[in-house]
């Protein structure tokens, strides 16, 4: 593969050469191997067009809209493509919402004084609660708990019970349009139930109807999952503000113990930074011959962290995205790779064995073949789990 296609970063290209020399299976070679006729980007034309389906035992089926070639059940290529897109939307919404659930659990436990975190953005909490119609006259902790109760009740509304979060936060003009088109959602769990059920063989094969269901789910996800998630993370960990940050593979120094929280959820990553900033933890690293202990941010977990917290000599920098994950691990500088609910690759155990990395899933969603050690994140145990 051409150098620029491996990466525009010289750092990644150098590690690619190293992992090739080490005989490691890697994303660039695997991508190329999926190609056809010597073209790494060429794949099965039916798959590329989204006009293939293997949802039931009458398939796999292929479709061609121009020739009115349909699946065995009679679904068109348009229906197949949109149905698969809706299923992908469900997976995305579900995973985003999993993150949101963990954030609300963390906020609730923090309001009860049971985590190593604090409610640091009180103004944001009060403004957000106020916009949702929640009383803000009590203590900060009471407001936070009422907010958690309010959003969790909304997540659990049936699909035919209009979401109060969307009602409170969306612009009036949009709400009117959504109501006219039957796109105004209920609770996200009900929306995911309806969307998933629509995709079974012989339920909804009409691409327009499937597209409308995808839009309705996306409104539920944007307001109930993403907005609630980011606002509540801001309340606990601080508002994102522009600041300088070290980036790329050069942030990994072999003279230090490097702990890398990886995934989407920043909870244990922040708890690790708080611990690593204590002299006691730096001394532990020095006692085993390192210059110190550093927490290095990765991927979306890292983005959640670096946008909110400034770098220093402990929270040292940010590596990059998951496409370069094997390059990160192949530097040989990683001591701990703590994997929360997304973006840790199934191939990671091979890299952990080769480059002597402690690979630990820290979410009940994540699992690796051959890795038995795990920590399932619990907000009340965040400090103990980070240690
Ligand atoms: S659902 Fe229809 S298109 Fe899909 S595999 Fe079954 S028969 Fe084929």
- Domains in the chain (CATH in brackets) are 77-237 (1.20.1270.30), 249-386 (3.40.50.2030)
Q: Which atom of ligand 1 is nearest to the CA of 71?
A: 3
Confidence band of 1 (pLDDT split at 50, 70, 90):
confident
Q: Whose CA is nearest to atom 6 of ligand 1?
A: 56
User: Within 10 Å of residue 203's Cβ, how many Cβ atoms?
Assistant: 11
Average pLDDT over residues 304-318: 97
Query: What SS3 class is residue 25?
Result: coil
How far, in Å, from the CA of 73 to the mean position of ligand 1?
6
Q: Which atom of ligand 1 is nearest to the CA of 59?
A: 5
58 lines ligand 1 (CB under 6 A): yes
Q: Whose CA is nearest to atom 2 of ligand 1?
A: 73
**ipTM of the complex in this document:** 0.99
Residues 6+ apart with CB under 8 A from 248: 9, 11, 317, 319, 320
Integer CA distances (angstroms), 246 to 7, 9, 313, 320, in order? 18, 15, 11, 11
Please write the tens of the pLDDT for every residue from 165-196.
Answer: 999 999 999 999 999 999 999 999 999 999 99
Q: Which atom of ligand 1 is nearest to the CA of 70?
A: 3
Please write the tens of the pLDDT for every residue from 204-243.
Answer: 999 999 999 999 999 999 999 999 999 999 999 999 999 9
How far, in Å, from the CA of 40 to the mean position of ligand 1?
28
Residue 285 contacts residue 257 (beta carbons within 8 Å): yes
> Which sign does the torsion angle of CA 222, 226, 232, 237 carry?
negative
Of 2-6, 20-24, 249-253, 306-310, minimum mean pLDDT range: 2-6
56 lines ligand 1 (CB under 6 A): yes
73 lines ligand 1 (CB under 6 A): yes
pLDDT score of 2 more than 90: no
How far, in Å, from the CA of 214 to the mean position of ligand 1?
20
Confidence (pLDDT) at 315: 98
269 lines ligand 1 (CB under 6 A): no
Confidence (pLDDT) at 135: 95
How far, in Å, from the CA of 346 to the mean position of ligand 1?
29
- Where do the DSSP E strands lie in the chain? 52-53, 61-62, 257-262, 293-297, 315-318, 336-339, 358-361
Residue 307 CA to residue 356 CA, distance in Å, equals 30
How far, in Å, from the CA of 56 to the mean position of ligand 1?
5
Please write the tens of the pLDDT for every residue from 188-198.
Answer: 999 999 999 99
3-state secondary structure 166-200: HHHHCCHHHHHHHHHCCCCCCCHHHHHHHHHHHCC
> Which sign does the torsion angle of CA 72, 73, 78, 79 carry?
negative
87 lines ligand 1 (CB under 6 A): no
75 lines ligand 1 (CB under 6 A): yes
Whether omega before 238 lies within 30 degrees of 0, making that bond cis, reads no
Please write the tens of the pLDDT for every residue from 103-124.
Answer: 999 999 999 999 999 999 999 9
61 lines ligand 1 (CB under 6 A): yes
Residue 233 CA to residue 219 CA, distance in Å, equals 20
> CA angle, corner 50, sides to 347 and 57, nearest 5?
80
How far, in Å, from the CA of 152 to the mean position of ligand 1?
37
Expressed in angstroms, the distance from the first to the final Cα of the chain is 41
User: Within 10 Å of residue 20's Cβ, how many Cβ atoms?
Assistant: 13
Residue 39 CA to residue 26 CA, distance in Å, equals 18
Confidence (pLDDT) at 261: 97
Integer CA distances (angstroms), 330 to 10, 23, 255, 301, 324, in order? 15, 11, 16, 20, 10
Residue 137 CA to residue 360 CA, distance in Å, equals 43
Closest alpha carbon to 245 in 303, 324, 331: 303
How far, in Å, from the CA of 182 to the mean position of ligand 1?
28
Confidence band of 325 (pLDDT split at 50, 70, 90):
very high
203 lines ligand 1 (CB under 6 A): no
Half-sphere exposure of 352 (CA within 13 A, CB side): 21
């Amino acid at each position: 593969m051409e150098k620029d296609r491996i990466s525009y970063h010289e750092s990644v290209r150098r590690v690619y050469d190293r992992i090739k020399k080490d005989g490691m299976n890697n994303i660039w070679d695997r991508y190329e191997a999926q190609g056809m006729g010597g073209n790494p980007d060429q794949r099965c034309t039916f798959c590329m067009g989204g006009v293939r389906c293997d949802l039931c035992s009458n398939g796999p089926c292929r479709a061609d809209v121009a020739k009115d070639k349909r699946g065995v059940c009679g679904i068109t290529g348009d229906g197949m493509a949109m149905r698969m897109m809706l299923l992908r939307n469900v997976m995305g919404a579900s995973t985003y919402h999993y993150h949101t659930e963990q954030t609300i659990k963390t906020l609730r436990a923090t309001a009860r004084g049971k985590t190593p975190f604090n409610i640091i953005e009180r103004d944001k909490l009060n403004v957000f609660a106020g916009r949702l119609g929640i009383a803000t006259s009590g203590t900060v902790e009471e407001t936070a708990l009422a907010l958690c109760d309010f959003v969790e009740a909304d997540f659990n509304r049936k699909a035919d019970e209009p979401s109060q979060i969307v009602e409170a936060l969306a612009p009036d003009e949009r709400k009117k349009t959504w109501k006219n088109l039957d796109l105004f959602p209920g609770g996200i769990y009900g929306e995911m139930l309806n969307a998933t059920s629509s995709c079974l063989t012989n339920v909804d094969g009409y691409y327009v109807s499937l597209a409308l269901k995808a839009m309705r789910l996306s409104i539920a996800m944007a307001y109930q999952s993403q907005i609630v998630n980011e606002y509540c993370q801001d309340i606990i960990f601080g508002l994102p503000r522009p600041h300088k940050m070290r980036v790329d593979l050069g942030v990994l120094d072999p003279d230090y113990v490097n702990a890398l929280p990886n995934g989407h959820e920043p909870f244990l990553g922040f708890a690790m930074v708080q611990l690593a900033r204590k002299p006691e933890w730096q001394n532990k690293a020095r006692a085993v011959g390192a210059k110190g202990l550093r927490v290095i941010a990765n991927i979306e977990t890292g983005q959640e962290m670096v946008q909110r917290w400034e770098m220093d000599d402990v929270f040292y920098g940010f590596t990059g995205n998951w496409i370069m994950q094997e390059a990160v691990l192949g530097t040989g500088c990683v001591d701990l790779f703590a994997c929360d609910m997304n973006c840790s690759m199934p191939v990671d155990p091979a890299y952990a064995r080769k480059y002597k990395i402690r690979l630990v899933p820290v979410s009940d969603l994540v699992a690796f073949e051959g890795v038995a050690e795990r920590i399932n994140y619990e907000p009340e145990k965040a400090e103990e789990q980070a240690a």
